[in-house]
Structure 1
């Protein structure tokens, strides 16, 4: 799970430069608070971005209940919180003057959270198989 989280943070936050105040951009100029605006305005790559955000968080929704033994509500809320932190740091990248400006996008919050929900539903569907594998690994390790 740690490797997965590090990879997600790397993909969503890098490159991240040293802090200095940027005079070129303000926080709100780069933020998008309108859900699915890019899709509704038919921006190139909007569907691809939505699908990638969903896919990116499916492993989180799958792994979180295995590690922490939590239900759907806790998994979805934790996915939302993880995504909100990513978006917050992307918003800060504007202030810090990052070379590549990351943008806060409410659509990302929605699609990432949905991806976590799909991951959880996949976990529920495969719960018996996953539980048997984990118990088998645990028993074989201590035998």
Structure 2
């Protein structure tokens, strides 16, 4: 039951993720561009001193991919590896960044890929904590 429900939630999440990252209009003053210098945009946002910019772009990119890291091991025993979750997060984010660049005419940013992969791993850690807590509660009964 959890696996079927989790699969449905994962599908809905992926649809929402692709919609939010590709079809919701975001104004970019630089237009279509590429950042391949790791930590360049993170440094730029951090140095801006704008808490909104930091929250939206740095924390937002991490939070955006946490459900991926939580849901994959929930629906698949094969997804029960932190390394695999990091790879899936990295690959999914890379596809989104490529689509943003080529289809949506926006920015391809290596820092977004890094932050998204970190978010997937954080989601996986949260999954492991919840699973451990669930097992302890179940065992105590």
| Aligned counterpart in structure 2 of residue 64 of structure 1, from 58, 72, 86 | 72
Alignment of 1:49-88 (within 5 A): 49-69=57-77, 70=79, 71-88=81-98
Are the structure 2 counterparts of residues 122 and 11 from structure 1 closer, same or farther at C-alpha, using a change threshold of 3 Å? same
Q: 1:136 — aligned with what?
A: none
| Aligned counterpart in structure 2 of residue 103 of structure 1, from 85, 102, 107 | 107
C-alpha contact (below 8 Å) 1:13/1:102 kept by paired residues: no
Q: Which of these two proteins has the greater Rg computed from alpha carbons? A: 1
Q: What is the CA distance between 1:31 and its match in structure 2?
A: 0.6
Secondary structure (helix, strand or coil) at the match of 2:107 reads coil
Which consecutive aligned stretches of 4+ in structure 1 deviate over 3 angstroms post-superposition?
Answer: 43-46, 128-132
Alpha-carbon deviations, 1:81-121, whole Å to 9, x = none? 1111101101112xxxx4xx421000000000000010000
The CA RMSD measured in Å over matched residues stands at 2.2
Q: Which runs of 5+ in 2 are unaligned?
A: 1-9, 26-30, 137-141
C-alpha contact (below 8 Å) 1:38/1:46 kept by paired residues: no
C-alpha contact (below 8 Å) 2:93/2:116 kept by paired residues: yes
C-alpha contact (below 8 Å) 1:61/1:115 kept by paired residues: yes
Q: 1:112 — aligned with what?
A: 116
Q: 2:38 — aligned with what?
A: 35
Greater fraction strand: 2
Q: Tell me the distance in 1 between the aligned counterparts of 2:66 and 2:24.
A: 24
Count residues with an aligned counterpart: 115
Q: 2:54 — aligned with what?
A: 47
Are the structure 2 counterparts of residues 88 and 65 from structure 1 closer, same or farther at C-alpha, using a change threshold of 3 Å? same
Q: Which runs of 5+ in 1 are unaligned?
A: 17-24, 133-143
TM-score with structure 2 length normalisation? Answer: 0.72
Q: 1:125 — aligned with what?
A: 129
Greater fraction helix: 2
Secondary structure (helix, strand or coil) at the match of 1:126 reads helix
Secondary structure (helix, strand or coil) at the match of 1:31 reads strand
